[in-house]
Structure 1
Amino acid sequence: MSAGRAILDQIAEDQKLDQYQQEHWTGSFDEYLDLVKQNPGYTRTAYQRMYDMIMSYGTYSVGSTKEGLIRYRFFDDPDNDGKDAIFGLTKTLIEFVNVLKSAALKYGTERRVILLHGPVGSSKSTIARLLKRGLERYSRADEGAIYTFGWKEDDGSIQWDPMHSDPLQLVPFKHRTAVCEWIADGVEHEYDIEIKGEVCPLSRYVFNERLEKSGGDWTKVVDQIVVKRLLLSEQDRIGIGTFQPKDEKNQDSTELTGDINFRKIAEYGSESDPRAFNFDGEFNVANRGMIEFIEVLKLDVAFLYDLLGASQEHKIKPKKFAQTDIDTVIVGHTNEPEYKKLQSNEFMEALRDRTIKIDVPYVTTLTEEVKIYEKDYNTRRVRGKHIAPHTLEIAAMWAVLTRLEQPNHAGLTLLQKLKLYNGKSLPGFTSDNVVQLRREARHEGLEGISPRYVQDKISNALVVNSDATSLNPFMVLKEMEDGLKHHSLIHSEELKEHYRQLINAVKEEYTDIVKNEVQRAIAADEEALERLCANYIDNVKAYTQREKVKNKFTGEEEQPDERLMRSIEERIDIPDTRKDDFRREIMNYIGALSLDGKKFDYRTNERLQKALEMKLFEDQKDTIKLTSLVSNTMDQATQEKIDIVKSRLIRDFGYNDESATDVLQYVASIFARGDAKERS
């Protein structure tokens, strides 16, 4: 057997032919009625299906219990390995789903255009893309099945309804109530069962023609109907439409509502014969699903009339035909400048009145912003290049800082505000204060640097530094700062200078981070930490119990070593006035563990661990002679010690050899400058 045949056989085994047959079901009108009786969900409107589709993925809680926020799993893009996942924007997505829920329950929002408004690169298009892909998948699932119909022809072919109308729309108005009551009888259903609207002009023409031939017997007409399962597909232009404004000279409203087929006019003799019309405009295509309007506010006024009718009345007006019913979710998106034009244009008042604006801002939470970049750079290596620790974090930190509004709170910096938003605690601030900060900054996230800019600069940094084995934060920060000179969306020199100052603030934060990591790597001598901790605890115990400590070298009883205890406590900002309380807390914690039969471990107390590591670092940094890295002169013993520190950075913090060396040299230069200042 050839290798090609082997792979074909493997594919054949993986095929689900039963599922294919189910997805391509066809049957008679009465068989369709049986299906609807079993599952009234097949009668749902486009809004109801979209809402149910999102809810079918479930939800989970996010944030603090006080906020009570939920996250919809659908927007995590679980079916596509999270490639289009929406990070952050929890409140935005809640607002969006609430609009869908209201529309599903027919509270009025089903007669509005949903307008996603936000800056470039804020995920508006991604939200629309998720919805379209989701509808495609949902239409293939049993719970999301949709059906349409066609007419049997004498030659055995089937003329399918061009707008994929609901077969139930063929039921005459006077019989619709009885049919709906029959469907609902004895069956629980979330929504009211209704039959709304009429079929498209072509199916209406065929229906009336065949009704006349059957002497007015409607049941004989539907016997000539074939019902089939409808699979939504953007590529096939079935149930999902997308419209983007183009040059006014090359575009007219027929792109939305269809156009005359001039080749068929000779055959049928009239422009108003529906058989000589192509019902293939984006609104026609989007019936039963959704339509996305890209940059909707750039539409010419001629298009707006169709848009308003489609939203408010659920009707469109094809050329030469009466108003035609449609059932579709209308989602448009636009940016801030275009929206400001809408607000100032009095001719757009009707559109403003029929629009529900949902702000889609940039992410303002650091951890969520980092996730955006991890989608593209989701491992430690990108095409053979190592991504040094904190590279994406620092890039994201700068991006988020550009989006934050200056806090009104005296003494609170933008960087501190970022940390509060990211769940960090600061003295004097509670979760209520953070909520208040967000409320005060109503425009936050609607301006600033977009994720696309950061992604572009990370890519540039990878190319420019192709000789390096590792990409570090300074490489990316340089690209981002250099790019500000030619940023097409930033015209204010004052704003550019503000962004440069934020880069400096981020550099300082990165310096603190890597200094701490190097300190921890140097102080990662477990035995030395254990000895230091045991010594500290012995002294604290003696101090709190007003006892003396036995000197292990001389054997003499001595007073507790106050200098040792304070040298550790000062590392974590325990003031002299609070030292007694801190020491008692430590002893009470140890006592509680002892009662449970557990042994104290300094690693379970984050503050104490940090204090011990910083103390040990101070004691050991001179013996390691870190500053010798700057002078490039060191003895073998020093080199061995530095190699140990480097191996810890690689093992415990994710560096590679090059990035670990860079960090050590950077931190060494900081200490060298500090030593020089002290000597001067």
Structure 2
Amino acid sequence: MTNGQALLSRFSDRQDSTQFLQENWQGSFAEYLDLVRKHPAITRTAYQRMYDMIIQEGTYSVEGSKDLIRYKFFDDPHLDGEDAIFGLTKPLMELVNVFRSAALKYGTERRVLLLHGPVGSSKSTIARLLKKGLERYARTDAGALYTFGWKEEDGSITWDPMNCEPLLLVPDSSREEFAKELNEGRNDEGYPIEIEGDVCPLSRFYFQERLREHDGDWTKVLESVVVRRIFLSEKDRIGIGTFQPKDEKNQDSTELTGDINYRKIAEYGTESDPRAFNFDGEFNVSNRGMIEFVEVLKLDVAFLYDLLGASQEHKIKPKKFAQTDIDTVIIGHTNEPEYRKLQSNEFMEALRDRTIKIDIPYVTTLSEEIKIYNKSYNQARVRGKHIAPHTLEVAAMWALLTRLEQPKHHGLTVLQKMKLYNGKTLPGFTAENVKQLRKEAKREGLEGISPRYVQDKISNALVVNTLSTSLNPFMVMNELESGLRHHSLIGNEELREHYRQLISAVKDEYTDIVKNEVQRAIAADEDALMRLCGNYIDNVKAYTQHEKVKNKFTGEDEEPDERLMRSIEEKIDIPESRKDDFRREIMNYIGALAIDGKQFNYKTNERLQKALEMKLFEDQKDTIKLTSLVSQVVDKETQEKIDIVKSRLIRNYGYNDESATDVLQYVASIFARGDVKEDA
């Protein structure tokens, strides 16, 4: 073990002083102009910086869709997906499109962005991602930005309290020519350098004071200006602000726009001296970055006036001072009840007109919902407890069913609709049909159960079931159901009962899943499956080519074994009327592989593999006597066969010993009750 000094020395050796000096650059205004010529992007607006930050991370297309793309930024790659947003591809595209429009100054930069959706739908997570992203981006060369300060006679520097862009010090009369000079000779495709807005009242005071000293020569004034690089940081209150409603008696608009420093009035003689003012409101702090309004529609009307001015005019009104320019991305979020109040309140018309609403619904794709729970309850995080296969899947399945609207299509269940949304195919439904289903459901994802509730119940199930080494689906479903009695957001008993019925539907679906899984584990005899497949293909080939099959035992030519072929095809619901089509499809598939120089393997055809496994299971289930699992006495031979099946469940499907035993006993109890269908 090393002593404390040695430990500090080891870390000291790793420090890079050159990088620190580069990151904490300071220089004159003239040197800053050289930087601007070299890297014009350092003068970008807040919206331009926000858009570039997201785009820089890259994009990728969504599988199965030509219209949808994902922005890697929202996968939170820098923190291993800690705040990753799953699903919600379309709302995130809408959000980025608004940023792009605002970056190009098409008008949306003068709006409040309102993330609207039910509780727990990732609104706060999106805002948090953007804030963290800005902090990270500002530390890169691509995201660098600068502010300025004033040299005092004693050598100290008074920094601009709102971290304004140094170019704002150029007077209005010279800005057009100045910007033209800076843009001259540029051949990049970036944003043109534009000088818009004014510095804060304190810097304006210093500028005017020193302008008088230099007889109106503003270039001389700039010689006393020091420019430095800044890093956006919510904790340090630089460029990122957060505002949330509190008790109206203890909160006023000065929290947004700053307040008078009464201790300094005696020193400077008047309230209207900017040196006696604290520019530390959330709008002041968030200049050059973004401000998040938590539950924005719960704000008192007095705050909304400040919000309207900040969005439309990019100005705020500090007490005792003229309107002050700000450059910040304004993002608020709200829940459904508050938004309905906004719609019905005629006095809020101005706010509605200056708001861009982006719906952030719950996820409605099963695979994406499962990812939410996998992130929180993967085996690395859940220590000492095994998560049995399908445990998180059934929780996600139930959550999704509560959010989906009953399909209008005759004969389609909500469970089938969920599968269609998840990319499964059903006879008679195309990709266009699925799009139409989504269009018909106007409020889908804006109602239902929150992921937070499901996460709470999974956590509870992990804690309550202390005697078990494994968390299984029934433990979680029991918690989900029992928690409904006390769920504060379920308004009536009818809805509560509907959610209970959906749990029953999920249990039935889970039963089908594990029956199939156990069947596949029993039928996982590779050699037997290959023999059965070979036999089937020989007969199908002979049938489609109107030939006979040679009997391996007698050597005689015989008609294709129709009974064998149908016993396999019926397992995947191929009707008698479609058997010829299916058989030709199989032969065409084999032929296409042969043309490409590939060899046929039954595993490459999912439907055929399922049919073969179910057929083999049917042939073998009586020899294994699975139902004996629910009896007290199991003979040695049967036990050995059961142990083989259990080891396959552990090796191939992710079970541990306890959960494999549980699922085998569960499926065995179904067989014992005689509940298995003929084709199961």
- Structure 1 length normalisation: TM-score? 0.97
- For the 8 Å contact 1:241–1:292, the answer to whether it is kept is yes
Report what 2:621 is aligned to: 621
Report what 2:158 is aligned to: 159
- For the 8 Å contact 1:363–1:400, the answer to whether it is kept is yes
Q: What's the C-alpha RMSD, in Å, of the aligned pairs?
A: 1.6
Report what 1:372 is aligned to: 372
Cα distance change of structure 1 residues 182 and 624 upon mapping to structure 2, 3 Å threshold: same
Matches within 5 A, 1:305-384: 305-379=305-379, 382-384=382-384
How far, CA to CA, are the matches of 1:594 and 1:120 in structure 2?
A: 54
Report what 1:460 is aligned to: 460
Which residue identity lines up with residue 577 of structure 2 in the other structure? T
Instruction: Tell me the alpha carbon deviations over residues 71-102 of structure 1, each in whole angstroms, 9 at most, x when there is no partner.
Output: 11111111111100111111101100111111
Deviation at 1:595, TM superposition (A): 5.1
Report what 1:428 is aligned to: 428
Report what 2:104 is aligned to: 105
Instruction: Tell me the alpha carbon deviations over residues 196-233 of structure 1, each in whole angstroms, 9 at most, x when there is no partner.
Output: 11111111111111111122221221111100001110
Matches within 5 A, 1:68-83: 68-83=67-82
Report what 2:483 is aligned to: 483
How far, CA to CA, are the matches of 2:277 and 2:38 in structure 1?
A: 37
How far, CA to CA, are the matches of 1:215 and 1:531 in structure 2?
A: 100
How far, CA to CA, are the matches of 1:587 and 1:327 in structure 2?
A: 66
How far, CA to CA, are the matches of 1:157 and 1:611 in structure 2?
A: 82
Report what 2:630 is aligned to: 630
Which residue identity lines up with residue 278 of structure 2 in the other structure? N
Cα distance change of structure 1 residues 211 and 677 upon mapping to structure 2, 3 Å threshold: closer
How far, CA to CA, are the matches of 1:632 and 1:644 in structure 2?
A: 20
Are 2:24 and 1:48 equivalent residues in the alignment?
A: no
How far, CA to CA, are the matches of 2:593 and 2:231 in structure 1?
A: 62
How far, CA to CA, are the matches of 2:447 and 2:161 in structure 1?
A: 44
Matches within 5 A, 1:109-508: 109-187=108-186, 188-379=188-379, 382-508=382-508
- For the 8 Å contact 2:521–2:649, the answer to whether it is kept is yes
Matches within 5 A, 1:442-591: 442-591=442-591
Instruction: Tell me the alpha carbon deviations over residues 391-419 of structure 1, each in whole angstroms, 9 at most, x when there is no partner.
Output: 11110011011111111111111111111
- For the 8 Å contact 1:544–1:583, the answer to whether it is kept is yes
Aligned residue pairs total 677
Deviation at 1:39, TM superposition (A): 1.6
- For the 8 Å contact 2:139–2:231, the answer to whether it is kept is yes
- For the 8 Å contact 1:380–1:388, the answer to whether it is kept is no
Which residue identity lines up with residue 143 of structure 1 in the other structure? A
Which residue identity lines up with residue 578 of structure 2 in the other structure? R
Cα distance change of structure 1 residues 271 and 12 upon mapping to structure 2, 3 Å threshold: same
State the secondary structure of the residue aligned to 1:36. Answer: helix
How far, CA to CA, are the matches of 1:330 and 1:283 in structure 2?
A: 9
Deviation at 1:143, TM superposition (A): 1.3
- For the 8 Å contact 1:40–1:189, the answer to whether it is kept is no
Cα distance change of structure 1 residues 599 and 227 upon mapping to structure 2, 3 Å threshold: closer
How far, CA to CA, are the matches of 2:622 and 2:58 in structure 1?
A: 56
How far, CA to CA, are the matches of 1:588 and 1:206 in structure 2?
A: 83
State the secondary structure of the residue aligned to 2:69. Answer: strand
How far, CA to CA, are the matches of 2:668 and 2:202 in structure 1?
A: 79
Cα distance change of structure 1 residues 398 and 10 upon mapping to structure 2, 3 Å threshold: farther
How far, CA to CA, are the matches of 1:145 and 1:157 in structure 2?
A: 24
Farther-moved stretch of structure 1 (338-347 vs 13-22): 13-22
How far, CA to CA, are the matches of 1:49 and 1:212 in structure 2?
A: 36
State the secondary structure of the residue aligned to 1:144. Answer: coil
Report what 1:95 is aligned to: 94
Cα distance change of structure 1 residues 434 and 270 upon mapping to structure 2, 3 Å threshold: same
How far, CA to CA, are the matches of 1:131 and 1:592 in structure 2?
A: 49
State the secondary structure of the residue aligned to 2:331. Answer: strand
Which residue identity lines up with residue 428 of structure 1 in the other structure? G
State the secondary structure of the residue aligned to 1:142. Answer: coil
Deviation at 1:455, TM superposition (A): 0.4
State the secondary structure of the residue aligned to 1:234. Answer: coil
Unaligned stretches of 5+ residues in structure 1: none
How far, CA to CA, are the matches of 1:589 and 1:452 in structure 2?
A: 46
State the secondary structure of the residue aligned to 1:272. Answer: coil
How far, CA to CA, are the matches of 1:511 and 1:17 in structure 2?
A: 62
Which residue identity lines up with residue 604 of structure 1 in the other structure? T
Deviation at 1:564, TM superposition (A): 1.4
How far, CA to CA, are the matches of 1:519 and 1:661 in structure 2?
A: 14
Cα distance change of structure 1 residues 633 and 271 upon mapping to structure 2, 3 Å threshold: same
Which residue identity lines up with residue 181 of structure 1 in the other structure? K
- For the 8 Å contact 1:41–1:189, the answer to whether it is kept is no
Deviation at 1:603, TM superposition (A): 1.6
How far, CA to CA, are the matches of 1:381 and 1:58 in structure 2?
A: 29
- For the 8 Å contact 2:670–2:676, the answer to whether it is kept is no
Cα distance change of structure 1 residues 608 and 485 upon mapping to structure 2, 3 Å threshold: same
Deviation at 1:593, TM superposition (A): 4.0
State the secondary structure of the residue aligned to 2:142. Answer: helix
Cα distance change of structure 1 residues 595 and 223 upon mapping to structure 2, 3 Å threshold: closer
Which residue identity lines up with residue 184 of structure 1 in the other structure? N
Cα distance change of structure 1 residues 425 and 14 upon mapping to structure 2, 3 Å threshold: farther
How far, CA to CA, are the matches of 1:398 and 1:372 in structure 2?
A: 14
Which residue identity lines up with residue 339 of structure 1 in the other structure? Y
How far, CA to CA, are the matches of 1:199 and 1:675 in structure 2?
A: 77
How far, CA to CA, are the matches of 2:595 and 2:74 in structure 1?
A: 48
Which residue identity lines up with residue 128 of structure 1 in the other structure? A
Instruction: Tell me the alpha carbon deviations over residues 525-563 of structure 1, each in whole angstroms, 9 at most, x when there is no partner.
Output: 011112212222232233334343333334444333221
Report what 2:611 is aligned to: 611
- For the 8 Å contact 1:149–1:165, the answer to whether it is kept is yes
Deviation at 1:21, TM superposition (A): 1.4
How far, CA to CA, are the matches of 1:48 and 1:675 in structure 2?
A: 63
Which residue identity lines up with residue 133 of structure 2 in the other structure? G
How far, CA to CA, are the matches of 1:557 and 1:326 in structure 2?
A: 90
How far, CA to CA, are the matches of 1:373 and 1:467 in structure 2?
A: 23
How far, CA to CA, are the matches of 2:37 and 2:676 in structure 1?
A: 86
Instruction: Tell me the alpha carbon deviations over residues 114-139 of structure 1, each in whole angstroms, 9 at most, x when there is no partner.
Output: 00000110000001001111111111
State the secondary structure of the residue aligned to 1:143. Answer: coil
Which residue identity lines up with residue 470 of structure 2 in the other structure? S
Report what 1:8 is aligned to: 8
Unaligned stretches of 5+ residues in structure 2: none
State the secondary structure of the residue aligned to 1:30. Answer: helix
Deviation at 1:19, TM superposition (A): 2.3
- For the 8 Å contact 1:388–1:470, the answer to whether it is kept is yes
- For the 8 Å contact 2:239–2:287, the answer to whether it is kept is yes
- For the 8 Å contact 1:380–1:387, the answer to whether it is kept is no
Deviation at 1:52, TM superposition (A): 0.8
How far, CA to CA, are the matches of 2:523 and 2:397 in structure 1?
A: 28
How far, CA to CA, are the matches of 1:677 and 1:369 in structure 2?
A: 31
- Structure 2 length normalisation: TM-score? 0.97
Matches within 5 A, 1:52-71: 52-66=52-66, 68-71=67-70
Cα distance change of structure 1 residues 255 and 393 upon mapping to structure 2, 3 Å threshold: same
Farther-moved stretch of structure 1 (28-37 vs 524-533): 524-533
Which residue identity lines up with residue 544 of structure 1 in the other structure? T
How far, CA to CA, are the matches of 2:598 and 2:167 in structure 1?
A: 71
How far, CA to CA, are the matches of 1:367 and 1:275 in structure 2?
A: 57
Cα distance change of structure 1 residues 59 and 9 upon mapping to structure 2, 3 Å threshold: same
